[in-house]
Amino acid sequence: MDKILEAVVTSSYPASVKQGLVRRVLEAARQPLEREQCLALLTLGARLYVGGTEELPRRVGCQLLHVAGRHHPEVFAEFFNARRVLRLLQSLACVQLGLQLLPEGPAADEVFALLRREVLRTVCERPGPASCAQVARLLARHPRCVPDGPHRLLFCQQLVRCLGRFRCPAEGEEGAVEFLEQAQQVSGLLAQLWRAQPAAILPCLKELFAVISCTVMVFEEEPPSSALASVVQHLPLELMDGVVRNLSNDDSVTDSQMLTAISRMIDWVSWPLGKNIDKWIIALLKGLAAVKKFSILIEVSLAKIEKVFSKLLYPIVRGAALSVLKYMLLTFQHSHEAFHLLLPHIPPMVASLLKEDSNSGTSCLEQLAELVHCMVFRVPGFPDLYEPVMEAIKDLHVPNEDRIKQLLGQDAWTSQKSELAGFYPRLVAKSDTGKIGLINLGNTCYVNSILQALFMASDFRHCVLRLTENNSQPLMTKLQWLFAFLEHSQRPAISPENFLSASWTPWFSPGTQQDCSEYLKYLLDRLHEEEKTGARICQKLKQSTLPSPPEEPPSPSSTSVEKMFGGKIVTRIRCLRCLHVSSREEAFTDLSLAFPPEEVRARDLPPQPRFQIPSQEGPRRQRKHCITGDAPSTILDIASLGSPGPVGQRCSQGLSTHRDAAPSGEQVCGPEGSRSVLDLVNYFLSPERLTAENRYYCDSCASLQDAEKAVELSQGPRYLILTLLRFSFDLRTMRRRKILDDVSIPLLLRLPLAGGQGQAYDLCSVVVHSGVSSESGHYYCYAREGAARPPPSLGTADRPEPENQWYLFNDTRVSFSSFESVSNVTSFFPKDTAYVLFYRQRPGEGPEAEPGSPRVRAEPTLHKDLMEAISKDNILYLQEQEKEARSRTAYISALPASPHWGRGFDEDKDEDEGSPGGCNPAGGNGGDFHRLVF
């Protein structure tokens, strides 16, 4: 029968005739056959399947093996023995077919044992992509062929080595697709083996790193293939932190090896089927930044950034390339070199992406334009180089300054979080926010919170930074240096020691907690008086140089404190006997808001006004006394003064007095059963009856008389500071206590002014006190750089509102926050209450602002000495960090190793335990330290 079949197959009959004859032979082979006849058919089938050069003989051989093997399993087991398999190894497809038909038994065990040895020998000989892919397909279908015991680990490592030798054998799209499929099959086998034996992952990564970090080329071999990227895509992302952390801290890895490895990994962005490759590359770059290996980062960035940029042309690898490019470019902030390497390539890239006209291209264009604006903002001063680039992106979206600062701040090398912070405390890094903290010098959080609030008052900060050097203002000069370092230092936190010693409040005890509001009042008063004194000295010097004094010496201009925080309030008192009205206008830098007695309810409405204080402007329109809110806890509209109903005495100093009972008629408008800033401002502005021990001395009557007092604001400040008088003296218990009422804080506050007009103020900072006493607890500050602006008028271009990112300043710790956190802090932490509020006058509504003119927000240029001091300190800091990172060997090596590498590391814990205002920093990172040695 075998002779007949072979003759038919090799005959010259037409294919249809051959197929008919073959079908008859195959039907006969399904019937019982003698052993010799069956072995002959199997031998013929194997010979046709392996040695056939045409399609028909190979198909006939495959069919014959199938039929004989299925219907004569005993004979097939005898035929498909280890010796036969050894001869058939040149055709793994035939071996795979035989394994499918081989029945269980000792013969099968012998065959699988042979194959386990042979596949290991095969991969150790570094087969090409096609042969390696055949092995992968065989083992994926028949896992019993995978080497076992210690040989399995060696097999996995040799697969990694094979991938490193892969080269695309054919040119053109078809050859590239086939090559990609073969690499994916091999890496897929590795992933399958890892799932079955997770302990093999670590040695495979060790082998992978050994391949890509090799700096010596043996026999002039080519660099490792990018097909190794297909291995990385199968690594679990939860292992990334542990792998990167241990790799970047392994002292057995030289800088040259690390540079070579990360350079070759960056080349992997060109691998089209790699998933998560960009995440691993960025994670390793961050790991190097965390341990301050800046020299490696600088060299690899300059060497590879142009190649990464060129990959933006190809949609299939664009996403990974863009992620790596963004990180490389935004982190390279100490010099213009990396950005300037890309300048010639940006205009043609923009043109290509525009021509592509796809969603992917449009998204890439938007992100590329954002990157360009960030770098132009960071390294200005090259108009001739930037002009072609800016012309190319002129029609694309321009990010606002807040967005630019956010990107530059969170991605700078010195802002990368050190993963060693919990184990090596000196290795701390700048906050991801880009903002800089202030070191607590021993219960000095009350100073730090106020300084951060003043710093975030951008108009005041710009005013301070623009001041020229002036020996007559030593305190203002120290504040200028402090603000400049908070703006431009690379350090995560700076010490306010010099400024604190110069601004020390004389009656404060060193080392004890103090009232931040009291310190703020003293500081602003000192700055104001110092500037006035300096102005008078300058004026006298000018006058002494004149030949004759002027008839009317010019009046000194307003100080910086007056311009920014100075407002005016008018107090009018009317005698109820003679109806004489006396008035006095006073300047203020903050308003102290007392809490109404508990008996005063928001639902009570005020009585109709009984009198109006005369005005020089003539009769005014009748105004409401109650305060209305446009949106609860978001926008409040404070109506101006009206009726004077009798109210309890209020103290505008450091204490508010709560009486046992409030006189009838006291009214405060607001939501029932709640407090708000709206209520407190209304209570502050409400008319007051002066009776009994508080009677007023009337000059006209020349005696103490009952009177009514009313206050109103005649001029609003640029920055409105409101202090909530939470520390009171309770007359019932005769004890000082803190009022823990939760006060809703509006984002927009409309402040009434005399004459019926009002000014809008946007919330920009909130200083929070955590604790129950003014002599203890902790202060921290919520703040944002810029307050919300009015919506654009009709006809203007539709542009997004500036981002109003909130930050939480807690001594050295600075983190992102939100207005929701500000609003809900007391709800979550009852002892944490808003204490000092900063509101900024809405742009365009102040008396000095021109209609429609936006407020200037660019940071002013610093004078030469200050710029040089900051530059030197930044260089010193980078040197300190790199030196400390390289000297940590003894410390890290003494840490215990964990046998469970795959578990990874615990996530960083919040530094504040229980409350965001905790005074003592927590321990940082937790969990075991898993050491991975490459």
| C-alpha to C-alpha distance for 649 and 643, rounded to whole angstroms | 16
**DSSP-based three-state secondary structure for 260:** helix
Structure tokens at 750: 């409309």
Structure tokens at 928: 């075991």
- Rounded to a whole number, what is the distance in angstroms from the first to the last CA of the chain? 62
Rounded to 5 degrees, φ, ψ at 584 are: -150, 130
DSSP-derived secondary structure letter, 805? -
CA angle centred on 921, ends 918 and 922, rounded to 5° = 105
> DSSP secondary structure string, 44-86?
HHHHHHHH--SHHHHHHHHHHHHHHHHH-HHHHHHHS-HHHHH
| C-alpha to C-alpha distance for 302 and 341, rounded to whole angstroms | 8
Of 528, 769, 778, 930, the active-site residue reads: 778
| C-alpha to C-alpha distance for 321 and 889, rounded to whole angstroms | 34
Contacts of 344 (CB under 8 A, 6+ apart): none
Q: CB of 568 within 8 A of CB of 714?
A: yes
Nearest to 333 by CA among 373, 281, 374: 374
Active site residue 364: no
| C-alpha to C-alpha distance for 114 and 85, rounded to whole angstroms | 8
Tell me whether residue 671 is exposed, middle or buried, using C-beta atoms within 10 angstroms of its C-beta: 0 to 12, 13 to 18, 19 or more. middle
Contacts of 519 (CB under 8 A, 6+ apart): 446, 447, 450, 505, 508
Nearest to 419 by CA among 929, 871, 932: 929
**DSSP-based three-state secondary structure for 729:** strand
Q: In what order do the strands lie in the sheet with 707-715?
A: 581-588, 567-575, 707-715, 688-690
| Chain position carrying tokens 């005013």 | 463
Report the helix count and the strand count for the chain, using DSSP H and E: 33, 23
Structure tokens at 78: 């005898």
Distances, alpha carbon 120 to alpha carbons 86, 187, 323, 544, 744, in Å: 14, 16, 38, 99, 72
What is the distance, to the nearest Å, from the Cα of residue 755 to the centroid of all Cα atoms in its chain? Answer: 47
Q: CB of 422 within 8 A of CB of 923?
A: yes
Conformational region of residue 21, where left means phi above 0, alpha means psi within -120 to 50, and beta covers everything else: alpha
Contacts of 820 (CB under 8 A, 6+ apart): none
Q: CB of 46 within 8 A of CB of 64?
A: no
| C-alpha to C-alpha distance for 679 and 746, rounded to whole angstroms | 11
Nearest to 402 by CA among 841, 807, 758, 922: 807
**DSSP-based three-state secondary structure for 137:** helix
User: For strand 727-730 and strand 657-658, is the pairing parallel, antiparallel, or unpaired?
Assistant: parallel
| C-alpha to C-alpha distance for 512 and 722, rounded to whole angstroms | 24
| C-alpha to C-alpha distance for 337 and 299, rounded to whole angstroms | 11
Structure tokens at 166: 């892969």
Of 364, 445, 463, 781, the active-site residue reads: 445
Structure tokens at 896: 């215990």
Contacts of 811 (CB under 8 A, 6+ apart): 437, 438, 439, 440, 445, 448, 493, 780, 921
Active site residue 778: yes
Nearest to 97 by CA among 106, 84, 110: 84
Radius of gyration of the chain (CA): 40
Catalytic residue numbers read 445, 778
